[in-house]
Amino acid sequence: MNPAESEEGEADRPAARMTPWRFVVWFGTISLLADCVYEGARSITGPLLASLGASSLVVGVVTGAGEAAALGLRLASGPMADRTRRFWGLAIAGYALTVVSVPLLGVAGVLWAACVLVIAERVGKAVRSPAKDTLLSHATAATGRGLGFAVHEALDQIGAVAGPLLVAGVLALTGNDYGPALGVLAAPGIAVLLLLFWLRARVPDPEAYERDLKAAAPTPATPRVQGGRMPRAFWPYAGFTAATTTGFATFGVLSYHLVERHLLTAAWVPVVYAAAMAVDAVAALATGWLYDRIGPRVLVALPVLTTAVVVLAFTDTVAIAVAGSLLWGAAMGIQESTLRATVADLVPSGRRATAYGLFAGVVGAASLAGGALTGGLYGYSIPLLITVVIAIQVLAVALLAVTRVGRR
């Protein structure tokens, strides 16, 4: 190879254009802006649907179905990403669907249309997430899985704080008019798409981060996937996540409780959500750092937090109910960072998007069950709800105990 060809090849390597940490930070910035859009919307989903005539069961089912769509449809989008290798294209398409659905939600006007848009926004997440997580996993191979995903999640949550606060401010100024409150979120949505196209142009092949790392410092052999199967440890881990998610109340149900019991006004609910997202960021960083040091044992905090949420959040005392909502944010931080990092350590690169899709599909079914369970039992008996959630979390801890993760 002559010197000119060598220089050209070096310039094409992602590390020559952008370091792994810079890639994580820029992708985190994109997620920050996207979270500003869809978390701003999710922070008022419960009160918005209630204002259109929804019951607690409808709120629980719709928000649970939205999470099920966001996760279950990855059963298709994950293998599609691995098969086509169009990770960037799927990420962009998914983000586009989300940032279009949210402003339309503000002008829906009728319950059925609002329900469709709530689910459509989550479908956008289903389209993009396996591809996005796979792109990110390549860079975090060099930064440390736990910390890399945690930093991305922490940046993510800056938007999850800003979006609800922006919505709360517009609601306060307009007398709880949901149209302007959601319409203002179109601006960060446009920025999301512009930055995605820019980052794809800078780093078209993030997988080279992981290839370069393996070439520079060979690591022990990673688990082989025989006959298209996932590694054996993947399934009890997915079972653990599904179990703990089944007992996890959606914020739609939590916010429904806060407003319908007259603990807070609708304008204050996004403020609570923003505070929960700030706790999310701290929890993600803490557990991500611990994961890189002690492994998946740190995940035992998730069943504990899930139980504490239902014990505290459904009381009729404002301070205690708000504390429960903040713990909900801590549990979300672990779900959105450390759980995803563990999947990357369980499954080799060539099947990782498929693994994220399968993992999310299992969790999606649990999210639908959890939304219906918490929404239905909330309207029937809160003590029974707490008892059922505790029993499910004991099962989750048992499944975590039999999971063996070989960290890379």
Q: Where are the domains of the chain?
A: 18-209+229-401
C-alpha–C-alpha distance, residues 149 and 167, integer Å: 27
Q: How confident is the model at residue 404 (pLDDT cuts 50, 70, 90)?
A: low
pLDDT for 230 beyond 80: no
pLDDT for 67 beyond 90: no
Q: Mean pLDDT score of the chain, rounded to an integer? A: 81
Give 206's DSSP letter: T
The letter for the amino acid at 308 is A
Asked if residues 21 and 193 have their Cβ atoms less than 8 Å apart, the reply is: no
C-alpha–C-alpha distance, residues 377 and 191, integer Å: 41
Asked if residues 342 and 292 have their Cβ atoms less than 8 Å apart, the reply is: no
- CA 24 to centroid of chain Cα atoms: 16
Q: How confident is the model at residue 380 (pLDDT cuts 50, 70, 90)?
A: confident
The superfamily in CATH containing domain 18-209+229-401 is MFS general substrate transporter like domains (1.20.1250.20)
pLDDT for position 13: 57
Asked if residues 346 and 237 have their Cβ atoms less than 8 Å apart, the reply is: yes
pLDDT for 198 beyond 90: yes
pLDDT for position 197: 94
pLDDT for 406 beyond 50: no
> Where on the phi/psi map is residue 53: left (φ > 0), alpha (ψ -120 to 50), or beta?
left
Q: What is the pLDDT of residues 116-168, one digit of tens each?
A: 898 889 899 889 988 898 898 888 888 877 788 888 888 887 887 888 889 88
Closest CA to 271 of 157, 154, 162, 159: 162
Helices (H), 249-408: 251-260, 269-294, 301-313, 318-336, 338-346, 352-380, 382-401
Closest CA to 89 of 100, 81, 79: 81
pLDDT for 237 beyond 80: yes
Closest CA to 244 of 304, 162, 312: 304
pTM: 0.68
Which is higher by pLDDT, 133 or 224? 133
Q: How confident is the model at residue 292 (pLDDT cuts 50, 70, 90)?
A: confident
The letter for the amino acid at 134 is T
pLDDT for 408 beyond 50: no
Which is higher by pLDDT, 158 or 16? 158
Return the percentage of the chain with pLDDT > 70, whole number: 89
**Alpha carbon distances (Å) from 129 to 125, 338, 361:** 6, 15, 12
